[in-house]
A and B are shown apart, each in its own frame.
Chain A
Amino acid sequence: MTPAQVLPPRRLQWLAQAVLTLGCLGVDPGWLLGIFTLVLVLMAALKLLEARDRAGRRLVALLQLVGCGLLAAQQPDLLPSLLQLLAAVLSLAGLLQLESGLSVGWRLLLRRSLRVMAAALPLALVLFLLVPRIGPFGAGAGWPSGGAATGLSETLDPGSIATLVDNAAPAARVAFSSNRPPPPAQRYWRVLVHSRFDGSRWLRDGDAERAPSGPPPGLIPPPTAAADSDQVWLVEPSRFTAVPWSGTASPLDPSLRPQPTGELRLLRPALERRSYRLLEQPGPPGWQMRPPRIVDLVLPLDRNPRLLALGRSWGSLPDPLARVQAAERWFRSQGFRYSRTPGNLPEPNGLDAFLFERREGFCGHYASAFSALMRAAGIPSRVVSGYRGGAWVVPMSGASYLELRQSDAHAWSEIWLPGRGWLGVDPSAWLAGGAPASAAAGEAAVGPVLGPLRWLQRQWWGLDMAWSRWWLGFDQTRQEALLTWLLGGRRGLLGWLILAGVALTLGLTLPLLRSRTAAVDRPGRDLAVLLRLLRGMGIEPAAGETLEQLSERAARRHPALQEPLAELVRCHAERRFGAGMDPAAARRARQRWQYSLQLLIRRRREALRLTPDPDRDHP
């Protein structure tokens, strides 16, 4: 080993600290746990700055490892997990460097560190598989300060938007267990439901964004035949608690609650990337059959008179479905065009101006106008905003997924028909100009020109998706299934099973670690400690000097140390050059060495205490 490979003492720990700090960037300080983590990492850095002795640096390593664990509890995604792994490996290597005492090359240290991690892996696996989950940390605590963005907004007010700018930022990704995307016609991912209409704007329910109500979903029986309809979502940060879903799936995560309006809400907004798993259920979901409320029919009578008149003219038709068909015919016959630059609509009768004068707009205009017309025709209706379409991405490795961008944001209408419940209607599909560009944008982006960065991003997201599917996907439900399979009804045995698993893995891996450490050159390490100690006293080994000569020289300078030094030299010679010892004798020899070393340190300390103040003995 050349000295070039040996790092200065604290370099590895500093590296670990740097990686750890990097990992802290995504920590949400709104959580108690997040604050605690940040403080802990800061403490580790400060301690590392001042730590000179072994005990201090051990404490630093401990703080760093605990910090890694806390970060892992908060950021389970692929990239943060990789960072945490790197930090843990570096921190362990720093600790090993500290404990090995010798100047060991960093490569060897990293290898050893990885070996320790590998040895811990079976144990971690047992704990991961068997120990019952607790709910997500800090659920429901704190509120966001905003700053995140989506292509959706709380209020749908198409009249005030003169120009729609394409925003290609990613919004969400979803992978399907069947590895096949749903047919394009079914790719409507609902997020927000706007039920309140004031004549120009569509608003969400007043209590929206308050903590979602409703009981947590009961545990779904383990998927058997339905395993094919599993979805894993990764959503980008958003300031809404509502997240995209197909509307028919049920969440497996207790922090997700389907709402009566058909939104799927998190307990708190996702300020960082969230992932969750949904299970597609057969049969209509609960919200779909929920009868309409008064608010679903409210229409201000003092605005948009022409719209009201048109809607009422259809209201005379007895069959509600016939009223919808009449509206569709009307839309198709009027030559509406899709436009991203419709300009502002005049107040207060903006929808009248859109429907009867300009006849061009984007999805928001159509959904808004259609829903208002339906209300005028006496059919409960509302506007739903979310995403439509999406690009199906097949990366080189990892999982295939459907990519939703903010440019895929879409709005459509929902009407309530007796006996059929809430049904989605997309009036943008009736345009003369064909499919609206906003929905087509996503598909077009998959086209031939794909920048290298974009390509790389997609490959990474593929891996990310796979990680979420296989690693984060092992949640309470799956664990429940595994435990049921393992134990059947005898759940009381779970404790014993965990204990047995832990004992087995420890039994398997500990001897591995032990045998590895036994191969380490203990006398050599101990010798290095002694040499460092002597060096600290200003006694450097001269060229070609033997340990005997060195210790004699040291004893001449510090006569109090002669006895322990002589014993150390004898002990070292025996351990290093003596005939092979059996393990017991080797242990005894090491004890003798340790004892003499302690004696040496004590004597040295006493000598130091006496020398700086020689007058004290003779006042």
Chain B
Amino acid sequence: MAAPTTPQPAPQPTPQPSLDDLVAAVSQVLLGKQRSVRLALSCLLAGGHLLLEDLPGTGKTTLAEALARCFGLAFRRVSFTSDLLPADLTGINVLDPSSGSFRFQPGPLFSQVLLADEINRASPRTQSALLEAMATGRVSVDGTSHDLPRPFMVIATQNGLDQVGTAPLPESQLDRFLMRLSLGFPEREAERALLSGGALPLEAMASARTPADLLALQQRCRQQHSADSLLDYVLDLMGASRAVERPGAPLSPRASQALLAAARAWALLEGRPFVTPADVQAVFTAVAEHRLDPLGTGERSATLLGQVDAIR
């Protein structure tokens, strides 16, 4: 638990190890995407799942793998295609010829970071099997349930919906993703650095952190202090999203939990033991936009932020 700070004499708030190196490490691999990297890391620290939505070749896979590597997590990648079956993800019971009994052969879900590439190309049936595993943290095969490893994070990528052969995720399943990010094209300078070989290859990424460290950080994240006035701010945002005359879907209680969790993680990355409205605002678009308007252009969350007084 973060000790209450004694603001005398210097106002440096936290005596906790800085997490800046984490951001720096991932940013070395993914150039010029500091903000997206921070958001993705917040998502990881908050224990949520991440949906990356962008064109091919913008660095989605790189980000996912870098996230896995900086905590030394087991990483698997599955390309979702239209003929992918749920069992291909969860694994199946196979007959062991030596013992004559069935043995569970775990599928790619049994990893710590699963990159679900192009999730919207798979059939809804497969999608829902994945999302069920994401929600409950376990899979059931032939009546036996198997716990997924911890930490467990799904990073799904999704191509633009205008592309051929895609099945859009229903809103209820979008809700299971803590955040939706879109990386976008890099800045000119960042791309120049990329071309001139300034980016660190993934294989060269080394980290002293272990999966246990991640679990500890996630625990600390949950203990970040959120004052009453901050909760009021979150609730005001929720209330504004649920106003009758507003277009788009209202935000659910799950969304408010997700928002607070993400804001806590963001504050932790900032090195602060408590959450401020600025943290909430920083993560708000990533957390709320895909719930407010799955197909839209990303302006509803900004409108919503403008409706609620953040100076308090």
Binding site for B on A (CB under 8 A): 524, 527, 531, 541, 543-550, 567, 570-571, 573-574, 576-582, 585, 588-589, 592
- Whether B195 is near chain A, meaning CB under 8 Å from some CB there, is no
Binding site for A on B (CB under 8 A): 2, 4-8, 11, 13, 225-227, 229-230, 272-278, 281, 305-312
Cα separation A582 to B4 with both chains bound (whole Å): 9
The 3 A-B residue pairs with the shortest CB-CB distance in the complex, in nearest-first order: A544-B306, A579-B225, A543-B306
State how many angstroms separate the Cβ of B308 from the closest Cβ of chain A: 6
Q: Which of A549, A578, A592 contacts B5 (CB 8 A)?
A: A578
Question: Are B8 and A567 in touch, CB under 8 angstroms?
Answer: no
Q: Which of A527, A550, A570, A580 contacts B11 (CB 8 A)?
A: A570
Cα separation A544 to B276 with both chains bound (whole Å): 14
State how many angstroms separate the Cβ of B269 from the closest Cβ of chain A: 16
Question: Are A544 and B308 in touch, CB under 8 angstroms?
Answer: yes
Question: Are B225 and A578 in touch, CB under 8 angstroms?
Answer: yes
State how many angstroms separate the Cβ of A56 from the closest Cβ of chain B: 29
Question: Are B307 and A546 in touch, CB under 8 angstroms?
Answer: no
State how many angstroms separate the Cβ of B1 from the closest Cβ of chain A: 9
Question: Are A541 and B311 in touch, CB under 8 angstroms?
Answer: yes
State how many angstroms separate the Cβ of B190 from the closest Cβ of chain A: 24
Question: Are B4 and A546 in touch, CB under 8 angstroms?
Answer: no
State how many angstroms separate the Cβ of A235 from the closest Cβ of chain B: 61
Question: Are A585 and B7 in touch, CB under 8 angstroms?
Answer: yes
Question: Are A546 and B225 in touch, CB under 8 angstroms?
Answer: no
The chain A residue with its CB closest to the CB of B7 is A589
Cα separation A71 to B47 with both chains bound (whole Å): 71
State how many angstroms separate the Cβ of B309 from the closest Cβ of chain A: 7
What would 11 more interface pairs be, CB under 8 Å, given A573-B274, A578-B225?
A: A527-B311, A531-B311, A544-B305, A546-B278, A547-B277, A577-B225, A577-B227, A577-B229, A578-B273, A579-B227, A585-B6
Question: Are A592 and B7 in touch, CB under 8 angstroms?
Answer: yes
A531-B311, A577-B229 as given contacts; A592 in contact with B2, CB under 8 Å: no
Enumerate chain A residues within 8 angstroms of B4, measured Cβ to Cβ.
578-582, 585
Question: Are B311 and A546 in touch, CB under 8 angstroms?
Answer: yes
Question: Are A544 and B309 in touch, CB under 8 angstroms?
Answer: yes
Cα separation A241 to B306 with both chains bound (whole Å): 75
State how many angstroms separate the Cβ of B276 from the closest Cβ of chain A: 5
Most chain A beta carbons < 10 A, residue from B6, B305, B311: B311
Enumerate chain A residues within 8 angstroms of B273, measured Cβ to Cβ.
578-579
Most chain A beta carbons < 10 A, residue from B230, B278, B306, B307: B278
Enumerate chain A residues within 8 angstroms of B2, measured Cβ to Cβ.
579
Question: Are A574 and B11 in touch, CB under 8 angstroms?
Answer: yes
Enumerate chain B residues within 8 angstroms of A527, measured Cβ to Cβ.
311-312
The chain B residue with its CB closest to the CB of A566 is B11
A571-B11, A592-B11 as given contacts; A576 in contact with B227, CB under 8 Å: yes
Question: Are B311 and A577 in touch, CB under 8 angstroms?
Answer: no
State how many angstroms separate the Cβ of A594 from the closest Cβ of chain B: 13
A547-B311, A585-B7 as given contacts; A573 in contact with B305, CB under 8 Å: no
Enumerate chain B residues within 8 angstroms of A550, measured Cβ to Cβ.
311
State how many angstroms separate the Cβ of B94 from the closest Cβ of chain A: 53
The chain B residue with its CB closest to the CB of A548 is B278
A527-B311, A577-B229 as given contacts; A546 in contact with B277, CB under 8 Å: yes
Enumerate chain B residues within 8 angstroms of A546, measured Cβ to Cβ.
276-278, 281, 310-311
State how many angstroms separate the Cβ of B222 from the closest Cβ of chain A: 14
Cα separation A50 to B61 with both chains bound (whole Å): 69
A527-B311, A576-B312, A578-B273 as given contacts; A588 in contact with B8, CB under 8 Å: yes
Q: Which of A545, A578, A582, A592 contacts B311 (CB 8 A)?
A: A545
State how many angstroms separate the Cβ of B241 from the closest Cβ of chain A: 13
The chain A residue with its CB closest to the CB of B11 is A570
Enumerate chain A residues within 8 angstroms of B227, measured Cβ to Cβ.
576-579
Enumerate chain A residues within 8 angstroms of B7, measured Cβ to Cβ.
571, 574, 585, 588-589, 592
Can you give 12 A-B contacts (C-beta < 8 A)?
Answer: A541-B311, A546-B278, A547-B311, A570-B11, A576-B227, A576-B312, A578-B4, A578-B227, A578-B274, A579-B273, A579-B274, A588-B8
Cα separation A541 to B230 with both chains bound (whole Å): 18
Cα separation A541 to B4 with both chains bound (whole Å): 31
State how many angstroms separate the Cβ of B212 from the closest Cβ of chain A: 26
Enumerate chain A residues within 8 angstroms of B6, measured Cβ to Cβ.
585
The chain A residue with its CB closest to the CB of B284 is A544
Enumerate chain B residues within 8 angstroms of A531, measured Cβ to Cβ.
311
Enumerate chain A residues within 8 angstroms of B13, measured Cβ to Cβ.
570, 574, 578
Cα separation A310 to B225 with both chains bound (whole Å): 111
Enumerate chain A residues within 8 angstroms of B311, measured Cβ to Cβ.
527, 531, 541, 545-547, 550
Q: Which of B8, B229, B310 contacts A544 (CB 8 A)?
A: B310
Cα separation A454 to B184 with both chains bound (whole Å): 87
Question: Are A567 and B225 in touch, CB under 8 angstroms?
Answer: no
Enumerate chain A residues within 8 angstroms of B312, measured Cβ to Cβ.
524, 527, 576
State how many angstroms separate the Cβ of B264 from the closest Cβ of chain A: 12
State how many angstroms separate the Cβ of A595 from the closest Cβ of chain B: 11
Question: Are B307 and A544 in touch, CB under 8 angstroms?
Answer: yes
Cα separation A490 to B305 with both chains bound (whole Å): 74
The chain B residue with its CB closest to the CB of A578 is B274
Question: Are A577 and B274 in touch, CB under 8 angstroms?
Answer: yes
State how many angstroms separate the Cβ of A143 from the closest Cβ of chain B: 65
Most chain A beta carbons < 10 A, residue from B276, B281, B305: B276
State how many angstroms separate the Cβ of B120 from the closest Cβ of chain A: 32
The chain B residue with its CB closest to the CB of A528 is B311
Enumerate chain B residues within 8 angstroms of A580, measured Cβ to Cβ.
4
A543-B306, A546-B281 as given contacts; A573 in contact with B11, CB under 8 Å: no
State how many angstroms separate the Cβ of A248 from the closest Cβ of chain B: 73
Enumerate chain A residues within 8 angstroms of B8, measured Cβ to Cβ.
585, 588
Question: Are B276 and A577 in touch, CB under 8 angstroms?
Answer: yes
Cα separation A602 to B225 with both chains bound (whole Å): 34
Enumerate chain A residues within 8 angstroms of B229, measured Cβ to Cβ.
576-577
State how many angstroms separate the Cβ of B298 from the closest Cβ of chain A: 16
Enumerate chain B residues within 8 angstroms of A588, measured Cβ to Cβ.
7-8
The chain A residue with its CB closest to the CB of B13 is A574
Cα separation A577 to B267 with both chains bound (whole Å): 12
A573-B276, A576-B227, A578-B273 as given contacts; A543 in contact with B307, CB under 8 Å: yes
Enumerate chain A residues within 8 angstroms of B309, measured Cβ to Cβ.
541, 544
Enumerate chain B residues within 8 angstroms of A543, measured Cβ to Cβ.
306-307
Enumerate chain A residues within 8 angstroms of B5, measured Cβ to Cβ.
574, 578-579
Cα separation A544 to B311 with both chains bound (whole Å): 8
The chain B residue with its CB closest to the CB of A547 is B311
The chain A residue with its CB closest to the CB of B267 is A577
State how many angstroms separate the Cβ of A519 from the closest Cβ of chain B: 14
Cα separation A588 to B273 with both chains bound (whole Å): 19
Enumerate chain A residues within 8 angstroms of B277, measured Cβ to Cβ.
546-547
Enumerate chain A residues within 8 angstroms of B226, measured Cβ to Cβ.
577
The chain B residue with its CB closest to the CB of A596 is B11
Cα separation A547 to B233 with both chains bound (whole Å): 13
Cα separation A570 to B11 with both chains bound (whole Å): 8
The chain A residue with its CB closest to the CB of B303 is A544
Cα separation A545 to B226 with both chains bound (whole Å): 19
The chain A residue with its CB closest to the CB of B302 is A544
State how many angstroms separate the Cβ of A486 from the closest Cβ of chain B: 50
A546-B281, A547-B311, A585-B6 as given contacts; A577 in contact with B275, CB under 8 Å: yes
Cα separation A579 to B230 with both chains bound (whole Å): 12
Cα separation A579 to B226 with both chains bound (whole Å): 8
Most chain B beta carbons < 10 A, residue from A577, A588, A592: A577
Cα separation A579 to B308 with both chains bound (whole Å): 24
Cα separation A510 to B11 with both chains bound (whole Å): 33
Cα separation A577 to B311 with both chains bound (whole Å): 12
Enumerate chain B residues within 8 angstroms of A574, measured Cβ to Cβ.
5, 7, 11, 13, 274
The chain B residue with its CB closest to the CB of A527 is B311
Cα separation A544 to B229 with both chains bound (whole Å): 15
Enumerate chain B residues within 8 angstroms of A524, measured Cβ to Cβ.
312
Enumerate chain B residues within 8 angstroms of A567, measured Cβ to Cβ.
11
State how many angstroms separate the Cβ of A131 from the closest Cβ of chain B: 45
Cα separation A547 to B281 with both chains bound (whole Å): 12
State how many angstroms separate the Cβ of A542 from the closest Cβ of chain B: 8
